Amino acid sequence: MFLILIVTVLAVAVFTFIFFHTVESLKKYSSIEVNVEKLKSSMLMLRRHEKDFLLRNRLLYKDKFLQEYQHSLTLAATLSEQLKGNDYRGDEVERYLFDLKLYKDAFIKLTKAMSERGLDEKSGLYGSLRNAIHKVQNYAKEHNYTLLLAKIYELRKNEKDFMLRKKPKYVKEFLQNFNKLSSLKVDESMKNYLLEYKREFLALVEKETLCGLDENSGLQGKMRQNVHKTEHLLQVLEKNIANFEKKHEKNMFAQIYLSAFVAVVIVLFLIIAIANNILDSLRIFQQGLLNFFDYLNKKREDISTIKIDKKDEFAQMAELINKQIAQTADFMKEEEIKLKGLAEFDELTGIYNRRKFNDLLTYHINEFKRYKTEFSLIFIDIDDFKKINDTYGHAVGDIILQKFVQITKDNIRDVDIFARWGGEEFILLLPNTNIDNAYIASEKIRKSIENYYNTLIGSFTVSLGVTSITSKGTLESLLKKADKALYKAKREGKNKTVICKESQS
């Protein structure tokens, strides 16, 4: 009997060792998954700083991009060490770092080219072009070239159209209108000023073309290609790591099950030899372990401890394992909460991010197609927010964003879905709301913002674009209609709500 007891104790000790070893391995794999998610989040931040630079033309975002790039390098190095420590043989991290460097280099080239072009109307080629046209206009006014001034206004229109829309046809129109000036009689100084204006405009066109007239051409197109390669490789890395972990988890669970089986057989023999009442304790113990494994394998949502209402060796061992189960469950829940927070919420404002909103919008579109459940969308943009940032600093800008979110939340229903779309642009989804009621809700928000007074900056306003779902509505068409309405509100003087119905889309 004593020999049987010793053998049993040794078997349980071996099993416990394997169990703890497995738990620690699972923690390591969980840490790897967290670092992969951090790497993905860092990639999103790089894209955000890239977009902010392209949108706002401020070198501040170049510096933020480079800081985040260094952060990505650190994360990748940590992940590489973790994978090597777990005998992972893939080279995806090294390839990711290579492609990430190409992305960074392309972004630097683009920022350099855009700086040479000019980051505002007074710098770079923008400034040179501005000085040239001022010379032409001033000289024309001084010498009373009335007809020439009228023609110059046409050139300025072509110039502004190109800068706004980046279409080559406006360059062609500019050159055609410029050639018409040859019929006018002007002195040599005027001719020289006009030629200087033409040279400066064509130089700006050349630099804009180098930067890219859209996201798929020029340096922007090259950078976009590098971004897609980097993001694809990150997806491949995530998938391969998941397969690697799954394979190792199967081996570990096989060892656990085998050890558990051996321990159970020995313990059963002991129970039969000693007393039938110990058999109940063993069954409870076994079921508790299986429940825990099912929890680890995501086969069940809840986890229960091993409950043995006896004062024997099994009860003591169950108490120890229950502590480890509780610690493991707490750890997994904490990591799950962290991952969910990174994936769904905007860090500054605490509301949904763009990715989560797109998921919810897709769901409501499908619900509309099945049950005709109507809803509306509202795009909201804070007017002149760049001026707030430039005048008072980004810290004050962040406070304004948070206050705007609070005021908006105070004026919407609990069922309404509110998200940050990007920068100072936000979006609202109003379930079971037609476009007329959506307009009323928009005006309520707009007036609340207009009536708010901030001790730091005074008052500020917002522009809103409203649309609603239709039978032909898709995610892209809905967003396009709301964006079109918002653009119209901006164009018509800001601090305004504009509706875009189906007939207007």
Give the per-residue pLDDT at 501.
76
CA angle (102, 104, 105) in 5-degree steps: 65
Cβ contacts of 370-373, under 8 Å, gap ≥ 24: 373/431, 373/432
Residue with tokens 């392309």: 106
153 token code pair: 């206004």
Give the per-residue pLDDT at 473.
82
C-beta of residue 469 within 8 angstroms of C-beta of residue 368: yes
Give the per-residue pLDDT at 335.
59
CA–CA dist 282, 273 (Å, integer): 14
Residues tagged active-site? 424
CA–CA dist 374, 502 (Å, integer): 14
Beta-sheet strands, E only, within 104-172: none
CA–CA dist 264, 435 (Å, integer): 66
Give the phi and the psi of residue 95 in degrees, each rounded to 5. -65, -35
Q: Where are the domains of the chain?
A: 124-211, 354-504
pLDDT tens, per residue, the chain with 505 residues: 555 557 666 766 765 666 565 666 666 667 888 888 998 899 899 999 988 988 888 989 999 999 999 999 999 889 888 888 887 877 888 888 888 889 889 999 889 998 988 888 888 988 998 999 898 889 888 888 888 888 889 999 999 999 889 899 999 999 999 998 888 888 888 889 899 999 999 999 999 999 888 888 888 888 888 888 888 888 888 888 888 878 877 777 777 778 777 666 765 766 666 667 667 777 776 777 777 777 777 777 677 677 767 666 767 777 777 777 776 766 666 656 655 556 799 999 999 999 999 999 999 999 999 999 999 999 999 999 999 999 999 999 999 999 999 999 999 999 999 999 999 999 999 999 999 999 999 999 999 999 999 998 999 999 999 999 987 889 999 999 999 999 999 999 999 999 997 555 5
E strand or H helix at 455, and its extent? Answer: none
- Single out the residue of 212, 109, 119, 126 nearest to residue 168, CA to CA: 212
Q: Is 4 exposed, middle or buried (0-12, 13-18, 19+ CB in 10 A)?
A: middle
E strand or H helix at 398, and its extent? Answer: helix 394-410
Paired sense of beta strands 425-431 and 462-468, if any: unpaired
For residue 44, give Cα distances in angstroms to 361, 398, 496.
21, 19, 32
The whole-model pTM stands at 0.45
CA angle (167, 47, 122) in 5-degree steps: 50
Helix, strand or coil, per DSSP, at residue 498: strand
- Single out the residue of 309, 263, 303, 270 nearest to residue 286, CA to CA: 263
C-beta of residue 407 within 8 angstroms of C-beta of residue 444: no
* 429 strand-pairing partners: 377, 417
Give the per-residue pLDDT at 66.
93
Single-letter code of the amino acid located at 105: D
Give the per-residue pLDDT at 398.
96
CA–CA dist 303, 327 (Å, integer): 12
- Single out the residue of 321, 339, 334, 244 nearest to residue 23, CA to CA: 321
CA–CA dist 110, 102 (Å, integer): 12
Beta-sheet strands, E only, within 148-282: none
E strand or H helix at 296, and its extent? Answer: helix 277-296
Superfamily (CATH) of domain 354-504: Reverse transcriptase/Diguanylate cyclase domain (3.30.70.270)
C-beta of residue 28 within 8 angstroms of C-beta of residue 82: yes
Single-letter code of the amino acid located at 394: H
294 token code pair: 């099912």
Give the chain's radius of gyration (CA, Å).
33
C-beta of residue 426 within 8 angstroms of C-beta of residue 380: yes
Paired sense of beta strands 375-382 and 462-468, if any: antiparallel
184 token code pair: 């006018």
E strand or H helix at 408, and its extent? Answer: helix 394-410
Give the per-residue pLDDT at 74.
92
Sheet architecture: strand order including 462-468: 417-422, 425-431, 375-382, 462-468, 497-499
